[in-house]
Amino acid sequence: MSRPRYTKVWRDLRRAGGRIVLMTTAVAVSLIAVGAMLTARTVATREAAAEYAATRPASATLDVAGGVGRALLDQVRARPGIADAAARQTVTARVRVGDAWRKMLLFVVDADDPLRIARFDVERGAWPPPADGIMLERSALAVLGGGDAVNVTASNGRTGRFAVTGVVHDAALAPASQERTGYGYLTPAGLARLGLTPEPDRLKLVVAGDQSTVDARARETAEWLTAGGHTVHGVSAPPIGRHPHQSQVDSVTLLFLGFAAAALLLAAVVVATTLGGMLAQQTRQIGVLKTLGATTAQILGTYLLLVLAVGAAALAMAAAPSVLAGVALTGLLSDMLNLDIADTSVPGWVFAALAAAGLGTPLLVALVPLTRAARTTVRAALDHRGVASGTAKRPIRVPGGNRLLALAVGNALRRRGRLVLTVALLTAGGALFTGGLNTANAWETWVHDGMARRAYDAEIVLARSSPADRVTGPLRGVAGVTSVEPLDARPAVPVGGGRVEVARTYPDGGHGALSLVALPAGSRMTDFEVLRGRALREGDRGVTVLNQGAATRFGDPAPGERVTLRVEGKDVTLQVVGVVAEVGGPAAAYTPADAAAAVASAVRLVYGDPGTLGRAEQALAAAGIPVQTVIPTEELRTAVDGHVLILIRTLVVLAGLMALVGALGLASAMGIAVTERTREFGVMQTIGATARTVRLTLILEGLAIGLAGSLLALIAGVPLAAYVGDLLGVLSFGLPLPLDLSLTGMAGWTALGLAAAAAATSVAARRASRLTVKDTLTYE
């Protein structure tokens, strides 16, 4: 080769094989994380948008009392700004699965509905089903226990057996397993078999334009209907083109991408530290190169080429696994979104971004130490005599006076710049690790504590409201029931400036919903944490306590302010007296029930024996009170966990990667330390140090660094956990997670940090201890 400088780069790479492998592995591991997150985010977002759009979700849905007939529907379709309209019905029922009840949403669609709006894909069977048939949403199959038929119990108490004639996929719905709800599709004829009157009360509108246009057209239609003598209970327009879980997935994948980028930055620091060590060894060579005519730019270019080679090798190692991991993660996300990933192709820009990150980040981070090294003057380079004795003015003393330990600590302090970088690497890796585990722990604890604030075992939602005494009376006599409390929950929408605010509720009725809940005075079934103001008290009138979800919907009012809700067509104005934190519930405004005319739409029970629930339902049935659905508190917990468990686990995996990169950094630093001090080991051995002493000194040095990094990581992990907890908590519950440190995780990290330090050092220490005195003293 006529360009020996490049030959030098190649041979230097081969000569420093171990370190190159360390650097490349660190960069490759982090690139896999970056690529996986980028792939998952890109593919999941693209597919979610495409598939959700393909369902042609309604831009807005109006809840019209009494239903919308064909003639009225035609008039709506003819209104300006309305591109299309359909009238559907959604009925809440329940299904017996084993010993438990599951909530069931029945979507009633006319047999001749052209399905231009709120479409679903038929995956098995044919639409429409016969009157005694039902098609199930595919994610509901597991929730409903499988089987060829389902026994659906309507709110009137009547049960109908429906043959499962097919399976549909409705990408606009959140997965049934997460919502713990079954989804069924049937015709009005099928609904009639349950003794219910087909009444298409959901007027679905398609409006072209942005969210404000949709809101305006929906309001105008509602006002037009009201003027025509119809009652519109609510107007809902979910965010355009966004799946119910889209925001959650977007934000969390962005958070993960941030973690992965942090891993890449750590890996780049590993590269810079390792290269710094290699350059320190090559300082004399740099001086020689300059005497031969090499300019600073040529030397810098040569070493940048080396970094580029590391980045390119890491990129080659990471490209395929990162895409595979990304596609696998997309699969998990698609389960969270109830989507089919039709197209897993990764756009070219993802590869370009990965390449830019893989090649660019190490280059940028290494630029400073490389430039510094390349600018070394010939004089300084030729005078270089290896590792300096350091700037310590006083001898190092350690507790117990152990000289070996003192030597190890002193050695660790000799290269302060590198020590700071190594400890910073371990700290950052460990902080992300403990931060991830602390967040997971905070999640667990908060959900557990949040659920513990619900002192009831199950909530029975009634098919229709009844006087509270009529409901609680029969239940108090049921064996095993230790406590009963009625509540009256009604769908509500905020009213602002005299106009009904458009709700952002999705068709499943859960995501984005708001309820006004009347609780009996002195209710003891819930004890939500008070965030602002106070809880409800006996004797309160005309006041409300909002949970955090409702507070957000009303623009975070302060205690003392008034809010107005429209409930069943009537406006209710209440004074806010407090805001509480509620885990696992939709947005709710709690208000004291009118003791004289208390009504129950649901009842909460406390019992010891799970069999009690069945007896309670029988008692209600015997009293002629139909049940719509039953929600055991444990089910609620499962639903809450289902929303973020995968995300928490992914966070822990990412945290593990950070720890790995940190350990690789330590291994690299120790390798450099050994190489730099090769001569010293020879000197030590000539004055009587055994190979074991040399090994032990290095291991102690590594452990000292590992301990420092681990302890600092524990400290740095706390604010990180607070930040991530804030983000996850707000996404999931509308509130930051409290800081709840995982002592097991922190102890685990300390042990892991020390073990990694010992392992990383022992390889270098073994190599050092095997050198003969002659090897070391002749080492140049």
Interacting residues toward another protein by CB under 8 A: 1-5, 7-8, 11-12, 15, 284-285, 288-296, 298, 377-379, 382, 780
Minimum CB distance to another protein smaller for 18 or for 510: 18
The span from the CA of 362 to the CA of 271, in Å, is 7
- Give the angle 658-663-665 at the CA atoms, nearest 5°: 95
Minimum CB distance to another protein smaller for 13 or for 176: 13
| Residue 255, burial from CB neighbour count under 10 angstroms (0-12, 13-18, 19+) | buried
CB atoms within 10 A of CB 623: 13
CB of 255 to another protein, least distance (A): 44
Minimum CB distance to another protein smaller for 298 or for 618: 298
Residue 677 phi, psi (nearest 5): -105, 20
CB of 379 to another protein, least distance (A): 5
CB of 16 to another protein, least distance (A): 10
CB of 297 to another protein, least distance (A): 8
Minimum CB distance to another protein smaller for 288 or for 396: 288
Nearest to 669 by CA among 434, 367, 427, 417: 417
Q: Are 53 and 240 in contact (CB under 8 A)?
A: no
The span from the CA of 405 to the CA of 442, in Å, is 38
Which segments within 557-683 are labelled E, that is strand?
562-567, 570-581, 587-592, 599-607, 627-632
CB of 371 to another protein, least distance (A): 13
Minimum CB distance to another protein smaller for 309 or for 332: 309
Minimum CB distance to another protein smaller for 332 or for 382: 382
The span from the CA of 362 to the CA of 308, in Å, is 8
Nearest to 272 by CA among 644, 637, 31, 23: 23
- Give the angle 275-280-7 at the CA atoms, nearest 5°: 65
Minimum CB distance to another protein smaller for 8 or for 158: 8
Minimum CB distance to another protein smaller for 378 or for 623: 378
DSSP string, 50-102: HHHHHT---SEEEEETT---HHHHHHHHTSTT--EEEEEEEEEEEEEETTEEE
CB of 306 to another protein, least distance (A): 12
CB of 14 to another protein, least distance (A): 8
The span from the CA of 512 to the CA of 508, in Å, is 9
Q: Please report, in angstroms and rounded to a whole number, the separation of the first and last CA atoms in the chain.
A: 27
Q: 128 preceded by cis ω (within 30°)? A: yes
Minimum CB distance to another protein smaller for 378 or for 479: 378
Minimum CB distance to another protein smaller for 14 or for 570: 14
CB of 764 to another protein, least distance (A): 21
Chain centroid to CA 94: 30
- Distances from the Cα of 80 to the Cα of 76, 138, 351, 591, angstroms: 9, 37, 46, 40
CB of 304 to another protein, least distance (A): 16
Residue 385: how many CA atoms within 13 Å on its side-chain side?
A: 5
Hey, what amino acid is at 660? L
Minimum CB distance to another protein smaller for 284 or for 532: 284
CB of 18 to another protein, least distance (A): 16
- Give the angle 566-568-571 at the CA atoms, nearest 5°: 30
CB of 309 to another protein, least distance (A): 14
- Give the angle 370-713-438 at the CA atoms, nearest 5°: 130
Task: Please list the helix, strand and coil fractions of the chain in percent, rounded to the nearest 5, in that order.
Answer: 55, 20, 25
Minimum CB distance to another protein smaller for 283 or for 612: 283
Minimum CB distance to another protein smaller for 402 or for 778: 778
CB of 1 to another protein, least distance (A): 8
The span from the CA of 198 to the CA of 195, in Å, is 9
**DSSP structure class, residue 627:** E
Q: Are 634 and 584 in contact (CB under 8 A)?
A: no
Minimum CB distance to another protein smaller for 6 or for 349: 6
Residues 6+ apart with CB under 8 A from 444: none
Minimum CB distance to another protein smaller for 14 or for 541: 14
Task: Record the tokens describing residue 222, joined without a space.
Answer: 């509602």
CB of 287 to another protein, least distance (A): 8
Where on the phi/psi map is residue 449: left (φ > 0), alpha (ψ -120 to 50), or beta? alpha
Minimum CB distance to another protein smaller for 206 or for 286: 286
CB of 657 to another protein, least distance (A): 33
The SS3 call for residue 602 is strand
CB of 400 to another protein, least distance (A): 35
CB of 301 to another protein, least distance (A): 11
Nearest to 330 by CA among 342, 315, 319: 342
